[in-house]
Amino acid sequence: MRVAALCDIHANLPALEAVLAEVREARVDRIVFGGDIVPGPMMRETLERILTLDIPAHFVHGNGELGMLAQIDAPDPSAVTYWGTTSGSPLPEPLKEVVRWSAGQMLPDHARVMAIWPRTVRLGIPGVGKVLFCHATPHSETDAFTRLTPEEVLLPVFQGLDADVVVCGHTHMQFDRTLSNGLRVVNPGSVGMPYEGARGAYWALLGPDVELRRTEYDVEACVAAIQVMGAPIPDGLLEQLLDPPDSTSVTEHFESLRGS
């Protein structure tokens, strides 16, 4: 069995379509969507695409999905208390606008389906072993760690999971590291908003080993389409699609926050 792990799409439909084309070429048996399919500029189209696939799919929720549901469930915008941040603090106003707009684009049927997505999914993959999929960590959709996070921080987080491999997203950077207890921790990277220093859509193929992949697509055309749509996506996010930040600087940023 071959499984594709797709994380952090952020409603970037052109990136998703490019990856799905390669998924078919790779004769993948299942897809696991590892959270943060939304929010983003092409909400309805992206959700409709993933929910009508003819390849068996599994879903876990990320902070993005929970942020959407918090918007929908709140009696008014001022009542929202969950923004999906690690600190628990509200998002900056420009990003709040993206989340609010995205929530307004979601159809009721999509929200009902999203509300039952679990925090984790488990699959047995020949050649890889027992694999647990989650968004950030098995216990939280907001905690952040990187390829450089010290083991003494990670070992308690990944203790007692009865898994050979954990696949998690959230930080938008690919890595594949093995902890001293033998657990392999893999981040497929981000399909829709990578922090890799190079354009593309990043994902992972599991079975019979783990292969980190990068798929090219027309980023300029994607950005132009978003601009025409009129979605309230900050210019800075569009610039990151055209010129993604490199993983070294982003990793250092995440680790500096840990030490602050």
User: Which contacts qualify for 47-51: CB closer than 8 Å, 24 or more apart?
Assistant: 47/11, 47/106, 47/107, 47/110, 47/114, 48/110, 49/13, 49/16, 49/17, 49/20, 50/16, 51/110, 51/113
Average pLDDT estimate for 213-221: 98
Tokens linked to 62: 């990320």
Query: What pTM was computed for the model?
Result: 0.96
The residue type found at 195 is Y
Q: Each residue of 82-120: pLDDT tens digit?
A: 999 988 889 999 999 999 999 999 999 999 999 999 999
Q: Each residue of 174-209: pLDDT tens digit?
A: 999 999 999 999 999 999 999 999 999 999 999 999
DSSP label at 77?
G
Give the CATH fold of the 3-259 domain: Purple Acid Phosphatase; chain A, domain 2 (3.60.21)
Residue entry with tokens 């379509």: 17
Residue 253 has pLDDT above 80, yes or no: yes
Q: Each residue of 49-58: pLDDT tens digit?
A: 999 999 999 9
